[in-house]
Amino acid sequence: MELVIYNTLSRKKEVFKPIHEGMVGMYVCGPTVYGDGHLGHARPAITFDTLYRYLMHLGYKVRYVRNITDVGHLEHDADEGEDKIAKKARLEQLEPMEVVQYYTLRYHKAMERLNVLPPSIEPHASGHIIEQIEFVKRILEAGFAYESEGSVYFDVEKYNAKYHYGKLSGRNIDELLENTRELDGQSEKRRSIDFALWKKAAPEHIMHWPSPWSEGFPGWHLECSTMGTKYLGETFDIHGGGMDLMFPHHECEIAQSVAALGHETVNYWMHNNMITINGQKMGKSLGNFITLDEFFTGTHKLLTQAYSPMTIRFFILQAHYRSTVDFSNEALQASEKGLARLMEAYERLNHLKASAASNVDVKGLKDRCEEAMCDDLNTPIVISHLFDSAKNINLVADGKATLSQEDLDELKTTWKVMIEEVLGLKKDEENDSTNDAYKQAIDLLLQIRLQAKQNKDWATSDKIRDELTKLGFNIKDKKDGFEWSI
């Protein structure tokens, strides 16, 4: 089976062919270290974690680079605004790197809970200032940038005369020139669409480094061009990120790399779609900016309950990464239930005993799942195949069907690979000691019930069953004992 992925640059699905046999170089734009880790961070992280996992499952050696933007990611007007990390640090009287460290650790913690594997390399923009300065020099030497008042800007119009600015996002320069507001005369830029490669620091700007042009800091887009090529080579396989980064960030990345190196650096561009909340875009001003911690604890006013990290992960995987996902309490609750059903079937599968022969057809699950994954990572289809398979597992567990040893082994392997390795789902973390004690207490009650039944003490036996059922327990009598779930 061949892995097919949708390439944003060519706007079509392509068979994935790595540059070096058996190896994949993959770069994903990581978080901006400012503000709390929010839901928007979870989607690219989980999407590209799934790709990373699947490439490794296919046997590739993957070098996965995901950066940390920590020299100031300027949201809207990337060239004129104040560095957010610096602003926060000034307000709170902290060292900028203290702010960076705080948010990086929080981000890592949230990613770990979402079972997102750490990348192979996680470079910080602030740790690559020298390389970024060298990159600016190359663009200047190639003639696609100009210096102005200690800052360096990329000359978009000149670049576009030779190459094509806007090829990724499908925009053209005339449209862009028309749509960007006129410069107010204060700017050092020649044109409104030119973007900063190096910015001279204002006196109050506390994160700055020496350079041939001024004491200043690199433009946001530059770090990804620099660190991507540093760690993955001048041409590498996959570059990913959220769709919101396609313009201007990725468009500028392409322009910078082509200007400096004379050729494209990325073979496959991949973008995950966005998340909305109750049909609305997420935004601080809309009051629907929910952090991951708030989801995990249920403490945001829009949430009616807490949602576990695995519910969030499962919910994101239930949609194809190129379609939008709308978060609502109803949708999350449905995912929570679905995941519980799936994990219960997985648990039951691991306790099934084989019979002499199978009387249900469970063959072909592995191929169907692989086929879906190879079709541009179609995780919702994989999940639906697993739900179909769960029906058979429940039939066997309930004694209504049988499986041969061979079929059972195949089923167990496929489930383990798909659930744990590829989708990265696991049992939700719980407080283990409390959890164990609680399980043992339920087992004890059911043991007492079993003894009562053996003594024909139906009153006690029924009381235990009825009371536990009322509390939401599901009790199943089996030939050799009992089984319970919530």
**CA triple 18-21-24, angle to 5 deg:** 45
Minimum CB separation of residue 224 from Zn ion in Å reads 3
**Of residues 239 and 385, the one with the C-beta less far from Zn ion:** 239
Q: Which residues pair with 12 in a beta bridge?
A: 7
Q: Is 78 in the site for Zn ion (CB under 5 A)?
A: no
CB of 280 to Zn ion, least distance (A): 26
* Binders in 375-394 for Zn ion, by CB under 5 A: none
Q: Which residue, 29 or 339, has its beta carbon nearer to Zn ion?
A: 29
The answer to whether the Cα torsion of 53, 58, 64, 66 is positive or negative is: negative
Which window, 25-33, 96-104, 354-362, 398-406, contacts Zn ion (CB under 5 A)?
25-33
Q: Report whether 97 contacts 126 (CB < 8 A).
A: yes
Residue 266 is a binding residue for Zn ion (CB under 5 A): no
Minimal distance in Å, beta carbon 71 to Zn ion?
12
Nearer to Zn ion, 29 or 238 (CB): 29
Q: How far is CA 460 from each of CA 119, 300, 323, 432, 443, rounded to the nearest angstrom?
A: 55, 44, 54, 30, 16
Q: Which stretch binds Zn ion (CB under 5 A): 218-226, 265-273, 363-371, 436-444?
A: 218-226
Q: Which is nearer to Zn ion, 79 or 410 (CB)?
A: 79
Residue span 286-305 as binding mask against Zn ion, x where in contact by CB under 5 A, dash where not: --------------------
**Closest Cα to residue 380, out of 369, 389, 367, 391?**
369
Which has the closest alpha carbon to 129: 202, 64, 203, 215? 215
Alpha helices in 298-431 (DSSP H): 309-317, 329-351, 365-374, 379-397, 405-415
Rounded to a whole number of angstroms, the distance between the first and last alpha carbons of the chain is: 40
Is the Cβ of residue 196 or residue 224 nearer to Zn ion in the bound state?
224
Minimum gap (Å) between residue 29 Cβ and Zn ion: 3
Cβ-contact 35, 72 below 8 angstroms: no
Q: Residues touching Zn ion: how many (CB under 5 A)?
A: 2
Beta pairing, strands 236-242 & 266-272:
parallel
Residue 29 interacts with Zn ion (CB under 5 A)? yes
Considering the rule CB under 5 A, would residue 196 count as an interface residue with Zn ion? Answer: no
Tell me whether residue 29 or residue 362 sits nearer to Zn ion (CB atom): 29
- Regarding 55 and contact with Zn ion (CB under 5 A), the answer is no
Q: Name the segment binding Zn ion (CB under 5 A); options: 24-32, 206-214, 296-304, 434-442.
A: 24-32
> Which C-beta is closer to Zn ion: that of 46 or that of 224?
224
User: Cβ distance 168 to 247 under 8 Å?
Assistant: yes
Q: Tell me how far, at minimum, the Cβ of 403 lies from Zn ion, in Å.
A: 48
Task: Please give the Cα distance from 40 to 316 (Å, whole number).
Answer: 11
**Contact call for residues 168 and 285 (beta carbons, < 8 A):** no
Minimum distance from CB of 30 to Zn ion (Å)? 8
What does DSSP assign to residue 285?
Answer: G
Q: Confirm or reject binding of residue 45 to Zn ion (CB under 5 A).
A: no
* CB-nearer residue toward Zn ion: 131 or 483: 131
DSSP-derived 3-state class of residue 91: helix
Question: Judging by beta carbons within 10 Å of its beta carbon (0-12, 13-18, 19+), is residue 174 exposed, middle or buried?
Answer: exposed
CB closer to Zn ion out of 69 and 160 = 69
Minimum Å gap between C-beta 147 and Zn ion is 24
Q: State yes or no: residue 258 binds Zn ion (CB under 5 A).
A: no
CB 61 within 8 Å of CB 101: no
Q: Applying CB under 5 A, does 254 fall inside the site for Zn ion?
A: no
Residue 452 lies near Zn ion (rule: CB under 5 A): no
Element (H, E) at 261: helix 251-261
How far, in Å, are 44, 82, 151, 224 from residue 211 at the CA level?
33, 19, 10, 19
Window 222-241: contact mask with Zn ion (x via CB under 5 A) = --x-----------------
- Closest approach, Cβ 292 to Zn ion, in A, equals 21
Joined together, the tokens standing for residue 189 give 């830029």
Rounded distance between C-alpha atoms, residue 146 and residue 248, angstroms: 19
Nearer to Zn ion, 29 or 403 (CB): 29
**CA 136 to CA 154: how far, in whole Å?**
9
CB of 376 to Zn ion, least distance (A): 22
Tell me how far, at minimum, the Cβ of 28 lies from Zn ion, in Å.
8
Query: In the complex with Zn ion, which residue's Cβ is closer, 29 or 111?
Result: 29
67/151 with CB nearer Zn ion: 67
Minimum distance from CB of 223 to Zn ion (Å)? 7
**Rg (Cα) of the chain, in Å, rounded?**
27
- Here the tokens at position 110 are 């949230």
Q: Is 255 in the site for Zn ion (CB under 5 A)?
A: no
Contact stretch for Zn ion (CB under 5 A) within 21-29, 144-152, 349-357, 422-430: 21-29
Nearest-approach distance from CB 242 to Zn ion, in angstroms: 10
Strands 216-218 and 195-200: antiparallel
Q: Which residues bind Zn ion (CB under 5 A)?
A: 29, 224
